[in-house]
Chains A and B, each alone.
Chain A
Amino acid sequence: MAQTAVVERTPRTESVVSPAATISGGSRITFDNVSVAYGALTVLESLNLTVNPGEIVALIGPSGSGKTTALRAVAGFVRPSAGRILIGDRDVTYLAPYDRQIGMVVQNYALFPHMRVEENVAFGLRAHGAGEEVIRNRVPECLAIVGMSAYAKRYPRELSGGQQQRVAIARALAPKPQVLLLDEPLSALDAQIRRSMLDELAKLHRDLPNLTVLYVTHDQSEALTLANHIGIMRDGRLKAFGESQSLFRHPPNRFAAEFLGRANLLPVTDLRPDGGQMARVRFGQAMLSARNHHGIPADKECLLCIRPHDFRFSRAAEEPNSISGTVLSVQWQGDVQNITLNIGGEEARMTSAPMANPPRIGETIAVHFNPAEVTLVPEDAGRG
């Protein structure tokens, strides 16, 4: 299903036209130094971000971080106090929402309760002036994409939450937008349906590779599963942005490391280059090796960022990159074992496969890590 056209605006036409006719420069979303303020309160500050055509970019962050404001600014529901927003090459900063040619899915689905499923899906097509024949063809097509063909005649109140969200997605896709905005689309669903919807969204994007998606969520697992790039926001600012795996592996600051994957951050000193991107640092009495991905200079304070699953049990304390810690807690969670350690006065979490004889609370154990898998993070860059 190529996502290559929007319905033309001329009423009673049976054809669709290429969006290239209306959106030049493809479906790229560009935030050009965008700020949003309500009176004296700035909720989004100087956001510079590009979502390339066909990409999924997830904005994550705690409540009040400005991620939803950024999405609403693209949709046209929030007017920037400074900067520009472009869709393709078109400056849409002051364009009305109905002229932006976007699709949007929100947390509570917002289906029109007095319309049947098929009427909900046809709404955008009618609003764009599509003819009846286009609607007759396109509505079943969209319902088939989300697996809701059998529910066309139902009212939203007769559907489950997951089904309603599928209809909301079909409705957003019907006018063939090149940009899809997803505002916490899975938050209202229970965990099991959320996982299944996540798989379906990933499949949807594989089927519609030209669709540019801006995805706002507070759930890092959704972002990591779906997004090509992730932006981490805090207090109205973009604190980190990068390719998903790279951002997870090499967070550029403390906040990114803590928010995305809840990394262990151990304060280290005495940073010395060790060839290539590697460096040696001191943690207590131990000298440890780690990747200095961000090229932190030797005189700067930094943190050793170790993901819980990067810790391994050491057979001997002399093993390279080995550190000792006291077991504070052990939690079995089915397929994983969570262990909390006190390492040199710092609390650290590690996960492992379930063990028949896990370490006991109070026991001192040695753990090590692969230096290529852990990274150094500048200490001060992420504060404040």
Chain B
Amino acid sequence: MADTALTAAPAQRPNIDGLWVVPPLLVLAVLFFYPLGLIVRASFGEDAPSLATFEQVLTSSRFLDGLYHTVVIAVSATAGCIVLGFVLSLVIAFVPFPGAKLAGRLIDTVIALPTFLVTLAFTFIYGSAGLLNETLMHVFSLDLPPIDFLYSQWGVILAETTVYTPFVMRPLLATFATFDQAQIEVASSLGARPLRIIRQILLPASLPALVAGGSLCLLLTVNEFGIVLFIGAKDVITLPLLIYSKAIQEFDYTTACVIAVVNVALSLGLYSLYRLAIAHFGGRRAGLV
């Protein structure tokens, strides 16, 4: 009997580890998938589901104009972020100046600020009654403000570039912090001047961080709402602003939902590209994970 007791298999405990996935799924379902589902459902019309609204919205000049502005602003701002972020990161990482470390840390502070704050600051500086225009009008005795770019597509691009450049700088600075300085020194001893070193040594080394940071910027600028609304640029309407306009101002929820579905598809597509870029270049090397 004792032998039997010893050799009997212990009662197996049910494996409940897999159940831990349920709470986050529930939260996601309630807070994300259900509202998203409602939007998708609403985009097919209130009665029998149909693609008629899609066809109508996607061919309308307002939607195409919104899509055009969204893409142009996002791509231009991302390009600006990449160029500006690369140059600033190079200076902070490789040009010895007092306060370089502090400047690097301030990048995180800029990321933490609300996006409209920069826009507000821009209004004070570049706006019609801003510091720059007032000074120029006073100095040159002008009747009208000479600087008038803020309330245009360029103003939006400049504001988004300013706000999102730290998103490129953060991974770049992480890459440069671990970069082997001996490579720069050896390149220099081989006769390479600074521009060649930047082009042939530093740029290839920072490509993973640039692509990852740039993809993130593109994703964020495509969906940017606050800056565009706050600047209120004339004739500049982007997809998020169009959704707002249709839903809140015109109460045309079906059209708003169609545009929202397109915007979500665009965002998910860009996010997939972002993940692919990180996977391809190695997030760890880019200082992103």
Instruction: List chain A positions with a Cβ less than 8 A from chain B.
Output: 75-77, 96-108, 110, 112-114, 123-124, 127-128, 168, 171-172, 175, 181
Contact = CB atoms under 8 A, between A and B. Distances in A.
A110 B190 contact: no
Interface string B168-190: 00000000000010110111111
A172 B188 CA distance: 11
B180 A127 contact: no
In the A-B complex, the 3 residue pairs with the smallest Cβ-Cβ separation, listed nearest first, are A124-B190, A110-B182, A127-B191
A110 B193 contact: no
A172 B180 contact: no
Given A75-B185, A97-B185, A123-B200, A110 B180 contact: yes
Interface string B191-203: 1110010001100
Size bin of chain B's contact surface: 10 to 19
A168 B204 CA distance: 19
Contacts of A106: 182, 185-186
23 contacts: A75-B185, A76-B189, A77-B185, A97-B185, A97-B189, A98-B192, A99-B191, A100-B189, A106-B185, A106-B186, A108-B180, A110-B180, A110-B183, A110-B185, A112-B183, A114-B204, A123-B190, A127-B187, A127-B190, A128-B191, A168-B186, A172-B186, A175-B190
Nearest to A7: B191
Contact of A75 (B189, B191, B193, B200): B189
A77 B189 CA distance: 9
User: Which of A96, A101, A108, A114 has most chain B Cβ within 10 Å?
Assistant: A114
A76 B182 CA distance: 13
A102 B190 CA distance: 7
Given A103-B190, A112-B187, 20 more contacts: A75-B185, A98-B190, A99-B191, A100-B189, A104-B186, A104-B190, A105-B186, A110-B180, A110-B185, A110-B186, A112-B200, A112-B201, A123-B190, A123-B192, A124-B190, A124-B191, A124-B192, A127-B192, A127-B193, A168-B186
Interface of B: 180, 182-183, 185-193, 196, 200-201, 204-205
A181 B193 CA distance: 19
A108 B200 contact: no
B204 A123 contact: no
B194 to A, nearest CB: 8
A99 B189 CA distance: 8
A101 B201 contact: no
B183 to A, nearest CB: 5
Given A112-B201, A123-B200, A127-B196, A98 B188 contact: yes
Nearest to B193: A98
A113 B282 CA distance: 15
Given A110-B182, A110-B183, A112-B183, A104 B189 contact: yes
Contacts of A76: 188-189
A102 B189 contact: yes
A128 B196 CA distance: 11
A123 B199 CA distance: 12
A97 B187 CA distance: 9
Nearest to B194: A98
Contacts of A171: 186, 190
A194 B180 CA distance: 23
Nearest to B192: A127
Nearest to B187: A123
Contacts of A107: 182
A352 B180 CA distance: 45
Contacts of A175: 190-191
Contacts of A100: 189
Contacts of B183: 110, 112
A188 to B, nearest CB: 12
Given A108-B180, A108-B182, A114 B188 contact: no
A379 B246 CA distance: 94
A98 B185 contact: no
Contacts of B186: 104-106, 110, 168, 171-172
Contacts of B191: 98-99, 101, 124, 127-128, 175
Contacts of A99: 191
A103 B189 contact: yes
A108 B201 CA distance: 16
Contacts of A114: 204-205
A110 B186 CA distance: 7
A101 B205 CA distance: 25
Contact of A181 (B188, B189, B196, B201): B189
Contacts of A96: 188
A185 to B, nearest CB: 12
Contacts of A168: 186
